[in-house]
Structure 1
Amino acid sequence: MKYLYGLLALYLASWLFTLPADALQQGFFFWRGQLVQLSGALLIALLAALLLMATRPRWLEQRLGGLDHLYLLHKWCGIGAAGLVVLHWLLSKSPRWLIQWGWLTPGARHAHQGASWRGLGMELGELAFYGMLLLVIISLVQALPYGRFRLIHKLGAVLGLMAGLHSLILLSDPLRNTPFGWLTQLACLLVLVAALWSLLGRIGRARRVTGQLEVVSHPAPDLVELAIRLPRAFTRDYQPGQFALLTLDAREGAHPFTILRQDPDTGLTHFAIKGLGDHTRQLVQGCRAGQRVWAEGPYGRFVLPDEGATPQLWIAGGIGITPFFAWLEALARQGQTRCHTRLIYCVERPEEVLHGERLRQLARKSGVALEIHTRQQQGLLDPRPLFTDPQAQCWFCGPQGLGECLASALPAGRLHHERFAFR
């Protein structure tokens, strides 16, 4: 967020630099025009950030702490852009309304360079305004299935093109050759390039590979394990705990799934998928060996932490055991031990434990203290007794409710987790 705040602060500073010395003595029409330009420029800056993040650049993902954090920032940029687009629209329409209500006297109209293009710019802005509001409402309400939401969300690139052209056309002539104008035109260019990159289907293509589903197994109820043969180019940069965007049905699109393990003997990459939503339930029932699979990544920064001098607590809820499984596999393969690490694996019933015997073997080999907490027998996990050491750090992967419970029991900065709610 600090980078975003810095960008907005730079915009405000460059805008203040453009104000004349007698700005405070100016009237309504002057300040309305200035605020229209400022709100439009801030909006286009947020759209540039939105569309840039949507392209999933590796350098930005790593700098922001993982794709999950990138998409969380993407979501908040979208909400901020919705607020700015409403403000920009209200400022644009306000003179007409105030004049109609008799609260304002019409001011002198000024000719604009390239006035013949202004009608097009206004039309594009109007269409982009309504489209953006609809898109934000659909994104926040989350009433549509993910497949339909994904298709509708692609309209964001079209709306970005409209907004970028609108801003380029209607940028005030006196502001074009100022630092504020240069920043705005640069943001417009970034919006146009990122939007075209999306519309041409280039997002993630450099990190996408084609594989084949070799083995489908069901190690626990409502859970499927997929063993997929992927090119070595995909696994070269993999770190235990990372996930991939898997596409098993082109109509449904890609979904994030953590890599359970990579088998060096067979060269297969394993994923464990729990049937939690419509798409994953269909996967549990419908995957077939031999089908083609597309994998993009690997992504994420929820990777095996350094041992350090302070105790570590790893907490997994349900299918959230997958990154910790990958960590234990890596420790066992490298002959490392973690004697001050405790892993608590929370499940509803004993039969839901994923590869229980293998998990216990890995924990013993790596020196990690494993505890399996069964809700059916022990009730909900109480996190308060777990954090008696004020220096202990906690890594968590699991349901949102359990994560919120842990966050309430831990000081800020001691809980590390991924956010898979990309919508």
Structure 2
Amino acid sequence: MRIFGLILIALAGLVPLYWFVPLAGSRDAGALFSQYIGSLALILMGINQFLATRAPGLETVIGPLDRIYVLHKWLGVVAMVCLGLHDIIDAEMNGLRGGPLAGIAEDLGEISLYGLLVLVLASVITFIPYHLWKWSHRLIGIFFFLGAFHFFFIEKPFSSFDPLGLYICAFCLLGIVSYVWMSVVRPMAPRGYRYTVATVRHLGGLTEVILNPKGRGLRHKPGQFAFLSVGGSGLSEEHPFTLSGAPRDDGSLRFSIKDLGDYTRHLRRELSEGMEATVTGPYGRFSMPAGRDPQVWVGAGVGVTPFLAFAESLKARPTGPVKLYYCVRERDDIPYAIELERAAEEAGNLELVIVNSDEGVRLTPERIAADLGGDLSRAHVFFCGPSAMRKTLKSGLVLKGLRASRFHFEEFEMRTGIGLATLSAWLWDRSIYTIEKRREDRKQAAE
């Protein structure tokens, strides 16, 4: 995530204080604070709607798209906290007279609050099926519009046409335009590059797809991902997948897709050669650095896909020594071992190490440090796999001398929760501990 983009978003939320603070001398402070945090929620939701458009330049200002998705989630959570506080803290002020639509605006504000609350909760409760979540997520823009209507016509100590009112209205307009673009305009005139499915192969739990361009194709860097949509058979919904091949002279693309959900299982059953596809992108900043510093690549399961593209590109892009750890659970679950071994032979500076957990082998920070001779100060580590494994490796390697900025990764899941499972487990453990403690106290008291 780029600090510059975070600062811009923070400033967008703080700027209204320039107008709100002078009002504090003549208005109830609690009610004024309630109106500020309600306005802040609208600003953050307007920005969030814009982030969802994947507009050109967003990755340059905010950061890679995978981080934008994480930011999108947390901005939504913060906005809902602000709305909740706005609802709890009375925002009414004496001496204000609303217009003819103030009463309707008040009622629509309540509808907006509870509608957004339900939809945001549905977004962070990850056991809700993806297709149901995505369908419900489209309704957020409607409730946001009701919230904007509430702000424009509700009683407040300033006019909607004052500088403060216009400032907040600008973010409301940004959010509404972004929502209309994503929900109405874009589906009518879809963007992207047109391809034909040339080859479909099933490799264990993976579906390998090779696409040939119809005209000018997408240009990408090894390690980037793109959104794939296939015409017909219920596969037209866009889904992001890593491009598992380096750029090729004929413009063809390769995806290696793991069966992880309803869509990918449906794709495995229905996808066939000759079908038409649309690819949008590329996205991401997960790419090899220039220079001769040693590199470590860690791919766990399907997380090896960006390193397939990395390995292909080594022939045209000389680098320092590279060690690839391909982490698998079973010996038979290594669909790209032969391809990677061939790439290692051709590149000369790539060493492939298969780490098979079924044989009791685990990849640890100690092993990586030992394989690099104990010197991690110059190394770059690239990781793609489960978040728990990533956190363990990163913390251990940093303690052993790796610079944190040289541990590169992408968020493996575009849709994540906010720790509700961890919180529930902690509350459960705490309640069990409390019950046992009370039983012990009663037992000691009886004795």
The normalised TM-score by structure 2 is 0.82
Alignment partner of 1:64 is 2:45 = no
Secondary structure (helix, strand or coil) at the match of 1:19 reads helix
Q: Which residue of 2 aligns with 1:356?
A: 337
- 2:356 alignment partner in structure 1: 374
Q: Which residue number corresponds to residue 408 of structure 2?
A: 416
Q: Retained in 2: the 8 A contact 1:397–1:418? A: yes
Contact 2:387 2:412 in 1 (8 A): no
Q: Distance in 2 between matches of 1:277 and 1:398?
A: 17
Which letter does structure 2 place at the counterpart of 1:300? Answer: G
Q: 41-50 or 258-267: which moved more?
A: 258-267
Shift of 1:408: 2.5
User: Hey, what's the Cα distance between the residues in 2 that align with 1:155 and 1:272?
Assistant: 32
Distance 1:123 1:363 in 2: 65
Q: Which amino acid aligns with 2:257?
A: I
Match in the other structure for 2:221: 239
Match of 1:277 in 2: 261
Q: What is the distance in 2 between the residues matched to 1:265 and 1:419?
A: 29
- The amino acid that maps onto 2:264 is T
Pairing partner for 2:376 from 382, 387, 390: 390
1:343 alignment partner AA: L
The CA distance in 2 between the partners of 1:146 and 1:327, in whole Å, is 30
| Counterparts of 2:311 and 2:15, CA distance in 1 | 50
Given residue 238 of structure 1, which amino acid in structure 2 is its aligned partner?
A: H
8 Å CA contact 2:244, 2:256 repeated in 1: yes
Does residue 30 (structure 1) correspond to residue 28 (structure 2)? The answer is: yes
| Residue 175 (structure 1) shift | 5.5
Within 1, Cα distance between the matches of 2:198 and 2:141?
A: 36
Identity of aligned residues (%): 29
What is the deviation of 1:82? 1.1
Q: State whether residues 139 and 149 of structure 1, in contact with CA within 8 Å, keep that contact through their aligned partners in structure 2.
A: yes
The answer on 1:135 being equivalent to 2:135 is: no
1:124, distance to aligned residue in structure 2 (A): 2.2
User: What does 1:4-403 align with in structure 2 at a 5 Å threshold?
Assistant: 4-9=6-11, 11-12=13-14, 14-20=16-22, 23=25, 30-92=28-90, 108-112=94-98, 115-170=99-154, 172=156, 174=158, 176=160, 179-202=163-186, 207-218=191-202, 220-235=203-218, 237-248=219-230, 250=234, 253-261=237-245, 264=248, 267-308=251-292, 310-332=293-315, 334=316, 336-366=317-347, 367-387=349-369, 388-391=374-377, 392-403=379-390
Give CA deviations for 1:28-71 in whole Å, capped at 9, x if unaligned.
Answer: x6123311320121101110111011111120123333110110
Counterpart CA distance in 1 for 2:266 and 2:190 is: 28
Aligned partners of 1:238, 1:171: CA distance in 2, in Å?
51
- What is the letter of the counterpart of residue 335 of structure 2? L
Contact 2:324 2:352 in 1 (8 A): yes
SS at match of 2:158: helix
Q: Secondary structure at the match of 1:351?
A: coil
* Cα pair 1:8 1:42 within 8 Å, conserved: no
The residue type equivalent to 1:118 in the other structure is A
Q: Is the 2:301–2:327 Cα contact (8 Å) retained in structure 1?
A: yes
Q: Answer whether contact 2:294 2:321 (CA < 8 A) is retained.
A: yes
Quote the offset at 1:369 in angstroms. Answer: 1.9
| Alignment partners' CA distance in 2, 1:70 and 1:321 | 23
Distance 2:63 2:6 in 1: 15
In 2, Cα distance between equivalents of 1:372 and 1:232: 39
In structure 2, the residue matched to 1:404 is 391
Distance 1:17 1:419 in 2: 38
Would the aligned equivalents of 2:194 and 2:217 in 1 still touch at CA under 8 Å?
no
Question: Aligned partners of 1:326 and 1:11: how far apart in 2?
Answer: 41
Q: Using the alignment, how far apart are the partners of 2:50 and 2:24 within structure 1?
A: 38
Residue 341 of structure 1 deviates from its aligned partner by 1.9
Contact 1:165 1:188 in 2 (8 A): no
Give the SS at the match of 2:222: coil
Deviation at 1:346, TM superposition (A): 1.0
Could you say what secondary structure the match of 1:57 adopts? Answer: coil
Give the AA of the match of 2:391: E
Where 2:237 maps in the other structure, the secondary structure is coil
The runs of 4+ residues in structure 1 deviating greater than 4 Å are: 175-179, 203-207, 249-252
- 1:240-280 Cα distance to aligned partner (Å, 9 max, x none): 11111112354672211111125746543111112123322
SS of the residue corresponding to residue 200 of structure 2 reads strand
Q: Select between 145-154 and 402-411 the one with higher mean Cα deviation.
A: 402-411
Q: Which one-letter code corresponds to 1:12 in the other structure?
A: L
In 2, the alpha carbon distance for the partners of 1:117 and 1:16 equals: 28
Give the 3 Å change call, closer, same or farther, for CA 365–207 of structure 1 in structure 2: farther
Are the equivalent residues in 1 in contact too, given 2:386–2:412 (CA < 8 A)?
no
How much does 1:21 deviate?
8.2
Q: Counterpart of 1:200 in 2: which secondary structure?
A: helix
Q: Secondary structure at the match of 2:28?
A: helix
Check conservation: 2:217, 2:251, Cα contact below 8 A: no
Q: Give the superposition deviation at 1:358.
A: 2.3
- Structure 2: how far apart are the matches of 1:270 and 1:71? 24
Contact 2:300 2:386 in 1 (8 A): yes
Q: In the TM superposition, what is the alpha-carbon distance from 1:329 to its structure 2 partner? A: 1.2
Query: Aligned-residue CA RMSD in angstroms?
Result: 2.6
TM-score, normalising length: structure 1: 0.86
Query: For residues 86 and 240 of structure 1, what CA distance do their matches in structure 2 show?
Result: 44
